[in-house]
Amino acid sequence: MSFQFQLYIDGQFEAGAATFPSVNPATGQAWAQMPEARTGEVNRAVEAASRALTDSAWGGLTASARGKLLYRLADLVERAAPRLAEIETNDTGKIIRETSSQIAYVAEYYRYYAGIADKLEGSHIPVDKPDMQVWLDRQPVGVVAAIVPWNSQLFLSAVKLGPALAAGCTVVLKASEEAPGPLLEFARLVHEAGFPPGVVNVVTGFGPECGAVLSSHPDVDKVAFTGGPETARHIVRNTANNLAKVSLELGGKSPFMVFADADLQSAVNAQVAAIFAASGQSCVAGSRLLIEASVKDEFLARLVERVARIRVGLPNEMETEYGPLCTERQLRNIEGVVERSVNQGAKVLTGGKALERDGYYYAPTILDCTGVDNAESIMTELFGPVLSVDTFSSEQESIEKANSTVYGLAAGIFTTNLTRAHRVSKRVRSGVVWINTYRAVSPLVPFGGSGLSGHGREGGFAAALEYTTTKSVWLRTSDDPISDPFVMR
């Protein structure tokens, strides 16, 4: 293990209270040592962020100056994308062809919020009282705890860090204890960009002594979390201590709806992207295929044939299309769920087992669950490459099945009927709907869900407002003395 990462607290790189190994999922072998932040390190990070919030080096900057720092960070991210991608691929097992392109695009998120920094305007209120002027002053919400998972972590941190810094907040960014290397390396870019000490702090560690301490800290004003519902429940309970604002971007069990009039080959390619890209390790994975019964056989035949041509390989080779899962725990969980679904009546059309090679590889899997209402794979977010198939016979039935879940994050609709696309997209319960495409993102577009998929939105202009609060300022313009002090004005 030749790599040793460090925490970044108050403008300084430092060792943690302890270290722990990080495993390369393609080999199953440890490749780096990660620093573990515990209560002391987390407290110092929050204290540094709290000081920086009002220090003149940050609190005294103009909004335009904050934007220039973000522009500088964007340029550094773009230049460092190859190095960051290599680290992410080693640490998470995501294929290099995706980490390279995704991290390069992350720079656009920082540029977008750099441009917003001096556009977060207050407003004048034409108040209904004579001799009064009232305006709203928009101010940073305060210290932000940004907690992100291992998958797409540079992207998931950018949609929090970008708007938070544009608004003038300070941030303690907690990387997942699973594969935190890319964010710990990203801290070096923050340092190089010239952000004042304490404005951005990057830590990683385990639940009780890191995540729980951070989310419940009395000086934290907002928690922005991406992850699973169970961890989110802990975070919500923790914020009862500090009454921090909370935004939650959680998981999904997203329907991928294919109507008989769709361009079937295009839908096949999109379905492959929706569930097998990133080995299915995406919160928006289109893991429930709902196919109109009349074209089920044709569509599945094309899909199985296309899946057979997916190039499985080492994730650091550019020709590889499909790599390992991030952790052995994921692999074992998926094996168990698939086995139980088959026992409940689901039919394996392809895959259904771990691949016989080093690392945590699980075969791209399609389960025909038609008529099997209790198949566990239909209801459970697996965070892996398992597609559950069901059919529908009418538009109404497709909507009912799409909405038959506790999640509400994303949906895909494939049809050439424009009026149907409008009708169905309006009635499907999800925060994001893709029509005749899937898994597209942009810094200009809000992203988020409802139900067990969380609440709040990331991306777009409105997300920056979530990191602000308003102050109402009243100015009495009359020079006459106040006449009656016992009457509300």
Active site residues: 249, 283
Q: CA–CA separation, 184 vs 295, rounded Å?
A: 48
Mark residue 110 as left, alpha or beta (left: phi above 0; alpha: psi -120 to 50; beta: remaining): alpha
Which among 404, 185, 90 is positioned nearest to 388, based on CA atoms?
404
Helices first, then strands: H and E counts in the chain: 15, 21
Q: Where are the alpha helices (DSSP H) in 121-211?
A: 153-167, 181-193
- Opening angle at CA 269, ends 266 and 270, nearest 5: 85
Sequence-ordered list of residues with C-beta below 8 angstroms from that of 352, at least 6 positions apart, any chain: 338, 342, 363, 365, 367
Q: How far is CA 453 from CA 2, 228, 434, in A?
A: 39, 9, 17
Q: Which amino acid is at 434?
A: W
SS3 category, 411: strand
Sequence-ordered list of residues with C-beta below 8 angstroms from that of 160, at least 6 positions apart, any chain: 144, 146, 148, 171, 173, 224, 458
Q: How far is CA 413 from CA 36, 236, 297, 400, in A?
A: 43, 33, 19, 14
Largest CA distance in the chain: 87
Strand arrangement, sheet containing 18-24? 3-4, 29-36, 18-24
| Residue 204 bridge partners (DSSP) | 175
Q: CA–CA separation, 251 vs 425, rounded Å?
A: 20
Angle between helices 63-92 and 181-193 (to 10 degrees): 150
Sequence-ordered list of residues with C-beta below 8 angstroms from that of 440, at least 6 positions apart, any chain: 434
Residue 41 burial (C-beta neighbours within 10 Å; 0-12, 13-18, 19+): buried
